[in-house]
A and B are shown apart, each in its own frame.
Chain A
Amino acid sequence: MLGSYVVRRLLQLIPVLILVSLAVFLLVRVIPGDPVSVMLGIDPDERGRISEEQYRVVQHQLGLDRPIYVQYLNWADKIIHGDFGLSLASRRPIFEIIFERYPATLYLTATALFVGLIIAIPAGVIAAIRQNTRLDYAAMGFALWGVAMPDFWFALMLIVLFSVKLGWFPSIGYTSPFESPVLFLQHAFLPAIVMGTNWPLP
């Protein structure tokens, strides 16, 4: 029973995946803009900079002169094999670019989650034990304030106060925690506060 259920669900997955991949593929085609211009570094305002020949050569290299279904099959084939292609602007593999930056996102998210939890758990516990007291309302109020505060604005205010005025934390930059945990925390502190107070954890 369970075996056939799993098989059925897996079979259902196939058309879903095909449809999703088609949608993703077509989405890029529907958005206005021209990959050839991007690749040649042509600003949309620099009108007519590309010669016909150069355009055709690049178009051919990108395979954009082929029928759209061939383009799709090509693209799908490469995705299945884990090849996400090259970035148009930097001509480097997409995978490389994502994983170059992904660790920073991960570490920051973890730090922010930590900040969020040290605020949220005690606040939640207090609010639960002392329901309908001032403490409860304060915790609720604080949580609402955190969620409602636009984080881009809150972040700028923290930079103005702690970087520009007090000079306690750097306003920009990133250091990997494995390179220097102290520097990492210095850089991650303000962003983590912003993200940590922004999550509706309590």
Chain B
Amino acid sequence: MKRLLTFAFILSSLVINLPLQAASIQPKRGGTLTLAVSKELALMNPLVNTSSTESRIRELMFEPLLARDTKGAIQPRLAESWEISKDGKLYTFRLRKGVKFHNGKELTADDIKFAIDYTLNPKNGAYGLADLDAVEKAEAIDKYALRISLKKINPLFLTVLTDIRAFSAIPKESLPEGMRKPSTFPPGTGPFKFVEWKPGQRVVFERFDDYWGEKAHVERVVMREIADATVRFSALQAGDVDIIERTPYEWVQQIVQGKIKGIGYARANIAGARNIEFNAADPPFNNKKLRLAIAYALDKREIMQAAYFGLAETSDQRFPKGSIWYFDVPTPKYDPGKAKALLKESGYNGEILELMGNRGEVAEIEGAAIQAQLKKIGVKVELKIFERASALEARRQGKFMFKLAGGSDYPDPLPAYEEYACEPDLRNRRLNESGYCDKEYDALLRSAELEMDLEKRKALFKQVVAKLVDDSPFISLGFTPRFFAFRDYVKGFTTNSSGDFQPFGGGLSRAWINK
């Protein structure tokens, strides 16, 4: 499992359920909920990905096999139960009986097998191919039982099956082979069914009355694309939409401070992460002392405060405090004295260090704060803002000194920390852009890759994190939240830590209109 999954790692402390104003009131049925999204649909194939917004939209219609609860534990969803063979390579799933597709057909093991086979066929360009690369084959044992055999042990496999982007249930033969677009969505099993898509105008969904789980309260969900965040918020204030995603921080701050009335919000706590990553393979940052000097010189609180209106939290690992993957290991804390001492030891003599960032993100603000803080210990920083695509090339080829980087929340520490495993070709860095390479670190990762026991995995990852923090090829700055804003007559809407529209057990299907 050498891939990242950028999907929710849901932890109890991170799921924010905004208190319902009147939790005791019975939810009302019916009505239309209009959600303004930042990006439109592109493609009506649930197994091919185009954007994170698109996969969030698809969660209304399609479902993965399993779910993860708020504590991060795997829960039944379309699969009711499962068994793992002793050698960890054979998974047998029992499907829930009576699950209906939107076309009225019942879900069977053959349908799941079709979705897996489709995903594994490289001709189809399915996004989940990378997630399922451990799968050897899937076979239907009977109508409701499915067996998946793996090429090798994969402690993440069940976690993968909770991600709609790995694959979701669709009726067999509902997609043709190849890359051409289908002319409509295949039927799904989710709480909403697809009605129509008028490009540039709206996508319409309708409550699926035969949904196997808790049925949606609202009759219809309409999505409208409003790319500009300010216009999105104006449309909410004007009442043209009921709820919006990705609300600009400055408006959220005003809602929080009570300056804007009649509008509520829901917070996705760790929708993104911000890091500084060093090019640890080339001068000047192949010098560990210089990296540590920077780590001790940064006041993360100030940086995050400046860039995110006081709405983001600082962090010092890839997982937030409270996660089972957060470990108590010694971590550099803001200490200018120590930073200066380390800087002296490193042999730094006033050369300009280039900090790379992507245009259009908040890199300019973060970068300015970092620049000012490093100036205090006598380090000269020049900010280099790139277009995303050109930044990507520079990153791959290792043509940077250090950079501001985004990260998503990870479902498991393995994909998160594999990003620092040795790269075979330092001028074509595929996974590890820092170029950091340590044999001991790689050995630890390889043992974690084969360890199925949770406690033993935790012990291994604690060593991984300790090693990484000590060598500091990157510095975690903080987690960035994302906000939904809605009119106060919208009740019951919740999201998860990564800001999904339809997380299992919450989201738009639990929302209702109190008008």
Asked if A63 lies at the interface with its beta carbon under 8 angstroms from chain B, I say no
C-alpha gap A100/B408 in the complex (Å): 34
Are the C-beta atoms of B48 and A171 separated by less than 8 Å?
no
Are the C-beta atoms of B389 and A91 separated by less than 8 Å?
no
Asked if A139 lies at the interface with its beta carbon under 8 angstroms from chain B, I say no
Are the C-beta atoms of B122 and A104 separated by less than 8 Å?
no
Q: Which of B82-99 contact A (CB under 8 A)?
A: none
- CB within 8 A of B181: which of A90, A167, A173? A90
Asked if A54 lies at the interface with its beta carbon under 8 angstroms from chain B, I say yes
Known contacts A48-B431, A54-B122, A58-B125: A43-B231 contact under CB 8 Å: no
Q: Which of A102-155 contact B (CB under 8 A)?
A: 104
Are the C-beta atoms of B389 and A48 separated by less than 8 Å?
no
- CB within 8 A of B393: which of A32, A43, A46? A32
C-alpha gap A33/B392 in the complex (Å): 8
Asked if B179 lies at the interface with its beta carbon under 8 angstroms from chain A, I say yes
Asked if B2 lies at the interface with its beta carbon under 8 angstroms from chain A, I say yes
- CB within 8 A of A163: which of B52, B129, B238? B238
Chain B interface residue bracket vs A: 35 or more
Asked if A188 lies at the interface with its beta carbon under 8 angstroms from chain B, I say no
Q: Count residues on chain A whose CB falls below 8 Å from chain B CBs.
A: 42
Q: Which of A74-121 contact B (CB under 8 A)?
A: 86-87, 89-92, 97, 100-101, 104
Are the C-beta atoms of A172 and B392 separated by less than 8 Å?
no
Chain A residue at smallest Cβ distance from B225: A172
CB contacts (< 8 Å) of B49 on chain A: these are 40-42
C-alpha gap A61/B405 in the complex (Å): 32
CB contacts (< 8 Å) of A40 on chain B: these are 48-49, 125, 127
Q: Within the complex, what minimum Cβ distance (angstroms) separates A194 from chain B? A: 13
Are the C-beta atoms of B234 and A51 separated by less than 8 Å?
no
Are the C-beta atoms of A164 and B238 separated by less than 8 Å?
yes
Known contacts A171-B235, A171-B240, A172-B224: A46-B4 contact under CB 8 Å: yes
Are the C-beta atoms of A100 and B200 separated by less than 8 Å?
yes
C-alpha gap A61/B6 in the complex (Å): 27
Q: Mark B229-255, 1 if CB is under 8 A from A, else 0.
A: 011001101111100000000000000
Q: Which of A27-65 contact B (CB under 8 A)?
A: 31-33, 39-51, 53-54, 57-58, 61
CB contacts (< 8 Å) of A104 on chain B: these are 200
Q: Mark B290-306, 1 if CB is under 8 A from A, else 0.
A: 00000000000000000
Chain B residue at smallest Cβ distance from A87: B42
Known contacts A32-B393, A172-B226: A54-B129 contact under CB 8 Å: yes
CB contacts (< 8 Å) of A48 on chain B: these are 2-4, 430-431
CB contacts (< 8 Å) of B129 on chain A: these are 51, 54
Are the C-beta atoms of B390 and A159 separated by less than 8 Å?
no
C-alpha gap A167/B389 in the complex (Å): 41
Chain A residue at smallest Cβ distance from B388: A44
Interface-centre pick from B42, B230, B390 (highest chain A CB count, 10 A): B42
CB contacts (< 8 Å) of A19 on chain B: these are none
Are the C-beta atoms of A90 and B405 separated by less than 8 Å?
no
C-alpha gap A47/B246 in the complex (Å): 24
Chain A residue at smallest Cβ distance from B406: A45
CB contacts (< 8 Å) of A70 on chain B: these are none
C-alpha gap A32/B388 in the complex (Å): 9
C-alpha gap A48/B408 in the complex (Å): 14
CB contacts (< 8 Å) of A32 on chain B: these are 387, 389-390, 392-393
Are the C-beta atoms of B179 and A61 separated by less than 8 Å?
yes
Known: A48-B2, A170-B240, A171-B240. 4 other contacts (CB 8 A): A45-B407, A48-B4, A100-B199, A164-B237
Interface residues of A, Cβ cutoff 8 Å to B: 31-33, 39-51, 53-54, 57-58, 61, 86-87, 89-92, 97, 100-101, 104, 156, 159-160, 163-164, 167, 170-174
Interface residues of B, Cβ cutoff 8 Å to A: 2-4, 6, 36, 42-43, 48-52, 122-123, 125, 127, 129-130, 133, 179-181, 199-201, 224, 226, 230-231, 234-235, 237-241, 387-393, 405-408, 419, 429-433
For the complex of A and B, 6 pairs with smallest distance between CB atoms: A41-B49, A48-B431, A33-B389, A48-B430, A163-B238, A32-B389
